[in-house]
Amino acid sequence: MKKKILSLLCLVMVWALPSTLQAEETKPSVTVYGNLRYSFNYVDEDGLPDGIERWRGTDNVSRFGIKGSYGNEDVKAFVHLQVGAPSDWDAGSDGFNQRFFFGGFQGGFGKVTYGRMTNAYKFPGYALDPFYDLSRINSGGRFAGGGASYGLSPATNGFTDNSLQYVTPDLSGFKLLGGIAFDDSNDDNELAYLAGGSYTTGGFTLGGVYADNPTNVGVYPGIGVDGEAIRAYATYKTDGWKVGASYENVSNGMDVSYYYLTGTAMLKEAKTDLSLSLGMVDDGASEGMGITGGVFHHLLDNAQVYAMASYADLESDYAPYVLSVGAIYNFSYTAN
């Protein structure tokens, strides 16, 4: 029943859009883009189960995508598909597998998005993390070449299927959001939901998001079955630097709190960014403290090289660390 309601809402929006667009000139736009991301890393996880201690080449979630929009200044329809394009040994099995695919409508009414996407609980942490999808100690206290850094929860990873989200237009600096997602593996169609909001003034943003999974299935990734999660976050940005902080409490077998603080200095004349993050986890297998730092030099507008170091001191008496050097190349082409 819930799936039928979601489909009906999408059909109503599709039906209503053409009559709105006829009032003004419409403009189509299509962008094809890609990111090649690779690093060479020295990883020391000695003592951890299945831990490694060696040099390792890692693809850092290279990707390829296409996105398009059609509309005018009042209302616009959009769609976005992204697939993986790994450049290492994973290429044979993971090449061009879908990461996300969503569409929606945006205008004076706000923004409606549906499909498989980054959910609104994950997004603030993803946006905060300067080391997201790079080689460092991850949210679980281990080496990983993708996902969220230590101090952010596992709920800052993954994508959500069968999802519908709405964000209000700007309301004097305030934005509210809400979303639902459901499991379609059986007739129960169990429903998950999230809600939150943010306030922005100048370069400062303060926000919060709450997410809740149903009784028998984990619809939102990284949150336990019949579990919930809450995130509070804040950011501040100027021309030369930015800082951000996130606090989470996540139910995933136990209640665990995650603390994350990050800052970046953007040295424009040197074409270099200096980033640092501190993380703390208060319980569970990844309990401990961690630090990650990196230097990113922009060779071109769309290409950069970097060096990073990441370390965690876990309560389990393990202290994994990663040393990484890598490069990122971005390309895109837009046709209007």
Question: Which residues partner with 334 through β-bridges?
Answer: 31
Q: What is the mean pLDDT of residues 58-80?
A: 95
Total domains in the fold of the chain? 1
**Residue 224: domain span:** 46-53+109-335
Residue 10 vs residue 213, higher pLDDT: 213
CATH of the domain at 136: 2.40.160.10
Q: Which of 91-100, 198-207, 311-320 has the lowest mean pLDDT?
A: 91-100
pLDDT in tens, 306-330: 999 999 999 988 999 999 999 999 9
- Tally of CB atoms within 10 A around 188: 14
In a domain, 170, yes or no: yes
On whether residue 165 sits in a domain, the answer given is yes
> Considering the domain boundaries, does residue 77 fall inside one?
no
Q: Is the residue at 17 inside a domain?
A: no
| Tokens encoding 328 | 């990122």
3-state SS, 281-295, equals ECCCCCCEEEEEEEE
Mean pLDDT score, 21-48: 86
Kindly state the percentage of the chain with pLDDT values over 70: 91
- What's the pLDDT score for residue 91? 55
Q: What is the model's pLDDT at position 92?
A: 55
Question: Is residue 204 in some structural domain?
Answer: yes
- Going through 168-287 in order, the beta strands assigned E by DSSP cover 174-182, 191-201, 204-212, 228-237, 241-251, 255-267, 272-281
| Residue range 170-196: mean pLDDT, rounded | 92
Q: What is the per-residue pLDDT for 9? A: 42
Instruction: Determine, yes or no, domain membership for 244.
Output: yes
Q: Is the dihedral of CA 254, 255, 259, 260 positive or negative?
A: positive
Residue 47 has pLDDT above 90, yes or no: no
- Residue 31 inside a domain? The answer is no
Flag whether 68 is in a domain.
no
Residues 251/220, Cβ–Cβ less than 8 Å:
no
282: tokens are 């208060």
Query: Stretch 209-229: mean pLDDT, rounded?
Result: 95
Contact (CB, 8 A) for 98 and 83? yes
Cβ neighbours of residue 317 under 8 Å, at least 6 residues apart? Answer: 47
Residue 90's pLDDT is what?
A: 57
pLDDT digits (tens, 9 = 90+) for 75-87: 999 999 999 999 8
Q: Write down the mean pLDDT value for the chain.
A: 91
With a cut of 80, say whether residue 16 has pLDDT above it: no
Name residue 332's beta-bridge partners: 33
What confidence score (pLDDT) does residue 252 get?
Answer: 85
Predicted TM-score (pTM) of this structure: 0.90
In this prediction, residue 51 carries a pLDDT of 84
Confidence band of 8 (pLDDT split at 50, 70, 90): very low
User: Running DSSP on this structure, what letter comes out for residue 171?
Assistant: B
